[in-house]
Structure 1
C-alpha cells in the first residue's frame, strides 16, 4: 500500500492533534528557515510524544535540535522530575527554539546546549532513558557507541532519516547514504540491541537496549 498524500492527510486528521504552540513553531520554521523539511512534523511528532509518554523518562538526550519541534514533543512524556538535554551547533537558528522553549510549560525541564554533540555526550554522567538522533548522519555510529554505555537497560534510541529518501535500497554511493547504510547494519548486528524500522516520513529506527 502506497502512503499517498490523501492517505497521509487522513492519518493526521485521525491522530491526536498537535498542541497550539507546536503549530506556531511549525509555521515559523517554514517561514524563517531554508530547510523546513528537517522539522519532525505532526505525525512523527505525535509518535515521539507517545513513546516518551510510554517510557516516562527521567533523562532524554536529543542530538540535533533544529527549531525545537521534536524537543517539545519528547518533553511531553518526561517524568515529574525529568529533563531533556538537547544539543545543536547551529547558532543562526538557535533563537527559534529558545523562543519556543521559553513559551512552553516544559521550559524548566529543557537544557538547550549549543556545542558539538560529542563534547556534550562526554560530559554526561547520569543514566539515560531515551535518545533521539537527528543530526549529522556520518556520526550516528559514534553517537550510539558513546551513548550506549550510559543508556539504561530497556532504554530507547530513536534515529531519524534511516531510509534517506529511499536511497538506502538503490545504487547510490554518496557519503550520507553510505553512512546511513553502515549505521543500519551496525545496529542490526549488535546483539545488545533490538531494532525495528518504521517507514514514517524519512524512516525512523526504534532501538531498544536489552
Structure 2
C-alpha cells in the first residue's frame, strides 16, 4: 500500500539504510512460497522498526503476529545481548520458515538474543506470559486489536513502547465503512483508544499502512 507516489516512495527507500541480506533473502522466499506476502513489513518499515529498537534497546519484546519473521528480525537488530523476544502467530505452517531465519540470525553472532516462537491463539497465550515488556509490536488480525490492547496493558510498565501496525488500513479509516467489513470498525475504535487513554502518549505516523507509537506514561 503506497500513500505516496511510487517514485517518491522509492526515493525514500533508496535514501534510508539498506535492507540487510538476511532480510532480502527472507523477503524473496516469502514472496516465492507464502500467500499474501504483502503482509511483510518491507524494507522501509523494517528500517523504521530497526531504528526504533536501536533507540529503545528493549530487554524484553512481545510481538503479536510473526508471519515469516521479518519484523521480529528488524526489532532484534536493536536488542542488547541476553535479551528476549517472544513472538506469537496462529499459523503453524509458517513456523519452520521463520525459525530457520531466526537460527541464521543467531548464528551470525550479531546479538545473543532468545527469540521464542509461540504458535496458537494470542488471546489465550498473552495472559499466560509472565512479567512486563519494554516494547510490544502488534501486527496481527485486526478484529482483535482492541482485545489485544486490553491484554497487553496488563504487561507494560512506565516507558513501555507499543507499536501498532496497519492503523490506516489502506485508507479505509477515512472512508464509509462497508457493513460487511469487520476490521475497519475495530481499527477506528482502537485508534480512538490509543488517542484517548490517559496512560499513553500517542503519535500516529504515516509510515506505509500507518504505524502508531504509544509510550506508557
Please tell me the TM-score bracket, short chain as reference.
over 0.9
Distance, in Å, in 2 between the alignment partners of 1:172 and 1:143 is 22
CA distance in 2 between partners of 1:59 and 1:107 (Å): 13
Q: For residue 93 of structure 2, give the secondary structure of its aligned residue in structure 1.
A: coil
Distance 1:122 1:146 in 2: 7
Shift of residue 149, structure 1, vs aligned partner: 2.5
Cα distance per residue 1:135-154 (max 9 Å; x no partner): 01111111121111321201
Q: Any idea what SS the aligned residue of 2:160 has?
A: strand
- The separation in 2 between residues aligned to 1:207 and 1:165, in whole angstroms, is 21
Please, which runs of 5 or more residues in structure 2 have no aligned partner?
Answer: none
Structure 1 regions of 5+ residues with no counterpart? none
Counterpart for residue 120 of structure 1: 125
Contact 2:76 2:113 in 1 (8 A): no
TM-score w.r.t. the length of structure 1 is 0.96
Question: In 2, distance between residues paired with 1:79 and 1:108?
Answer: 8
Q: Secondary structure at the match of 1:109?
A: strand
Aligned residues: 209
Superposition misfits of 4+ residues, deviation over 2 angstroms: 105-108
Is residue 150 from structure 1 mapped to residue 151 from structure 2 by the alignment?
no
Distance 2:83 2:204 in 1: 27
| Counterpart among 182, 201, 212 of residue 194 in structure 1 | 201
Measure how far apart 1:108 and its partner are.
Answer: 4.7
Return the offset for 1:107: 7.3
Question: Does residue 205 of structure 1 match 2:212?
Answer: yes
Match of 2:183 among 158, 176, 183: 176
What is the CA–CA distance in structure 2 between the aligned matches of 1:16 and 1:108, rounded to whole Å? 22
Q: Within 5 Å, which residues of 2 pair with 1:15-30?
A: 15-30=16-31
Q: CA deviation at 1:115?
A: 1.5
Alignment TM-score, normalising by the size of structure 2 = 0.93
